[in-house]
C-alpha cells in the first residue's frame, strides 16, 4: 500500500505575507519525505477565490528542487483548463527537474457553478471540459514520446509539433478520477494509468473497480491501469469520538464552510483499529494507494500513526 500526503497551500494564500508562509510548506514536504510517505500532492484551482491555492505546477517544481526521492503530484488536476502543448512542455520539464518523480491525478471537475465559471474564465466552454480532457491526455502522451506530432481532434489540431525535453520517465503516470458517471469509468478504462476515487463505502469501491477493469479489457489494455487510489481525510485518535469531533472541527475551520456543505468529503475519523478494519476491506478489493488529507494541526503525529500503525497492516 502506497500512502501519499496532501499538502495545503490554501491557508498560505489567505495570509498577507504569503511569500514567507511558503517556508512552512517546504518544511512540511521535507518532513513527509523523512517520515516515509510515498508521494506528495497539491490541489489545483485558479480563479476560485474561496478555494484559492498557489499554482500547482510552479509549486510542484519548487518541491522537486527541495526533495530527493518522494513522488510529487497534483490531484485533482484540471488539465482542460490549460493548453495541452504548454501543459505537456511544463510537465515534461518538471519531470526532468524531479528526475522522474511526477504523477498526475486528473479530473473533468465537478458540475458546480464555481467550477463552470473557472473554466469559462480560462477560455474553455464548460460543456467542452470532458472532451478536452481526453484529447489533452492523448496529446500529452504523444508529445512526451514522439519527435513530432500530428493530431486532428475535435478541440485541438496539431501539425508537425514537438517539444523538448521529454520526461525523464518513459511516461508520466496519469490517474483519472471517476466516481458516479459511467462516461468517467469508460475514460479511466480507455486512458488511465490509475483510478482515483472518493468511494465512501466498500460496496461502491468494489463495484466501481469492477467497471474500470471491464472497460480496461474492452479497450485491450489489460494490466495497464493497476492503481486504485482512495482520496480520504484522516483524523486518528485513541478515542474515536474525539477523532470525529476534532476532525470535523478542523474541516469546518479549514474550508470555512458548515459541515453539511462539506459532507461529500470521504472522512476516516476514528481509532487506529477502526481505520485498519475499514481499509483492509478496500485493500482486499484492490486498493493500492491512499491520498491522505490530515484533518489536524498535529500533522506529524497523525502521519506517524498512519505510516507506522496503519500502513503495515494493509499489506
What domains sit in the chain, N to C, each tagged with a CATH number?
Answer: 2-172 (3.20.20.30), 226-315 (no CATH)
In this structure, the number of other CB atoms found within 10 A of the CB of residue 204 comes to 14
> Alpha carbon of 225 to those of 1, 62, 71, 95, 110: distances in Å?
16, 29, 18, 21, 23
8: which residues sit within 8 A by CB, 6+ positions away? 43, 254
Taking the model in full, what pTM does it have? Answer: 0.94
- Cα distance between residue 76 and residue 188, in whole Å: 14
pLDDT at 54: 82
Q: Count CB atoms within 10 A of the CB of residue 222.
A: 10
The answer to whether residue 10 scores a pLDDT higher than 70 is: no
Decide if pLDDT at 277 tops 90.
Answer: yes
Please tell me the predicted confidence (pLDDT) of residue 312: 96
Q: Do residues 162 and 143 make contact, with C-beta atoms less than 8 angstroms apart?
A: yes
Rounded to the nearest 10°, the torsion over CA 162, 163, 165, 167 is: -80
Q: Considering only CA atoms, which of 38, 42, 39 is closest in space to residue 25?
A: 42
Length of the chain: 315
> Exposure string (b/e) for 104-123, b if CB count within 10 Å is 16 or more?
bbbbbbeeeeebbebbeeee
CA 299, 300, 302, 303 torsion: positive or negative?
positive
Cα distance between residue 198 and residue 109, in whole Å: 13
**Inter-residue contact 48 to 79 (CB < 8 Å):** no
Residue 179 neighbours by CB under 8 Å, 6+ apart: 197, 198, 199, 204, 208
Which of 61, 56, 65, 55 lies closest to 30, judged by CA? 65
pLDDT above 90 covers a percentage of the chain that reads 82
Which segments of 42-181 does DSSP mark as H helices, in order? 56-66, 84-97, 113-121, 129-145
Grid coordinates representing 30 are 521535507
Helices 202-218, 182-191: axis angle to 10 degrees equals 50
Cα 213 from Cα 2, distance rounded (Å): 20
Q: How confident is the model over 222-245, as pLDDT tens digits?
A: 999 999 999 999 999 999 999 999
pLDDT tens, position by position, 155-167: 999 999 999 999 9
Q: What is the pLDDT of residues 240-274, one digit of tens each?
A: 999 999 999 999 988 888 999 999 899 999 999 99
* Alpha carbons 206 and 11: distance in angstroms, whole number: 35
Nearest-angstrom CA–CA distance, 175 and 30: 24
Q: Which residues touch 44 (CB under 8 Å, ≥6 apart)?
A: 53, 56, 74, 75, 76, 77, 78
**C-alpha–C-alpha distance, residues 120 and 262, integer Å:** 24
Q: What is the mean pLDDT of residues 140-146?
A: 98
Give the pLDDT score at 19. 59
> Please, what is the average pLDDT of the chain?
93
Per the structure block, which three cell numbers stand in for 55? 499554482
Amino acid at each position: 500500500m502506497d500512502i501519499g500526503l496532501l499538502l495545503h497551500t490554501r491557508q498560505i494564500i489567505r495570509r498577507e505575507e504569503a511569500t514567507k508562509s511558503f517556508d512552512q510548506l517546504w518544511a512540511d514536504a521535507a518532513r513527509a519525505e523523512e517520515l516515509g510517505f510515498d508521494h506528495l500532492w497539491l490541489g489545483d484551482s485558479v480563479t476560485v477565490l474561496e478555494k484559492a491555492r498557489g499554482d500547482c505546477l510552479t509549486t510542484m517544481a519548487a518541491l522537486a528542487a527541495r526533495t530527493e526521492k518522494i513522488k510529487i503530484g497534483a490531484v485533482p488536476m484540471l488539465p482542460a483548463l490549460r493548453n495541452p502543448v504548454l501543459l505537456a512542455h511544463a510537465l515534461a520539464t518538471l519531470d526532468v527537474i524531479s528526475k522522474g518523480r511526477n504523477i498526475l491525478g486528473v479530473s473533468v471537475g465537478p458540475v458546480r457553478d464555481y467550477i463552470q465559471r473557472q473554466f469559462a474564465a480560462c477560455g474553455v466552454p464548460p460543456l467542452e471540459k470532458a472532451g478536452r480532457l481526453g484529447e489533452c491526455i492523448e496529446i500529452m502522451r504523444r508529445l512526451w514520446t514522439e519527435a513530432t506530432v500530428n493530431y486532428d481532434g475535435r478541440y485541438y489540431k496539431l501539425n508537425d509539433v514537438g517539444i523538448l525535453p521529454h520526461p525523464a520517465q518513459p511516461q508520466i503516470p496519469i490517474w483519472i478520477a471517476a466516481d458516479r458517471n459511467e462516461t468517467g469509468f469508460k475514460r479511466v478504462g480507455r486512458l488511465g494509468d490509475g483510478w482515483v476515487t472518493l468511494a465512501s463505502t466498500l460496496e461502491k469501491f468494489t463495484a466501481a473497480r469492477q467497471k474500470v477493469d471491464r472497460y480496461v479489457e474492452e479497450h485491450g489494455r489489460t494490466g495497464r491501469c493497476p492503481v486504485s487510489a482512495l482520496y480520504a481525510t484522516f483524523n486518528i485518535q485513541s478515542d474515536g469520538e474525539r477523532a470525529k469531533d476534532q476532525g470535523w472541527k478542523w474541516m469546518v475551520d479549514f474550508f470555512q464552510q458548515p459541515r453539511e456543505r462539506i459532507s461529500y468529503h470521504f472522512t476516516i475519523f476514528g481509532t487506529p483499529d477502526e481505520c485498519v478494519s475499514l481499509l483492509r476491506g478496500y485493500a482486499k478489493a484492490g486498493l493500492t494507494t491512499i491520498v491522505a488529507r490530515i484533518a489536524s494541526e498535529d500533522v506529524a503525529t497523525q502521519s506517524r500513526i498512519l505510516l507506522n500503525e496503519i500502513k503495515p497492516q494493509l499489506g
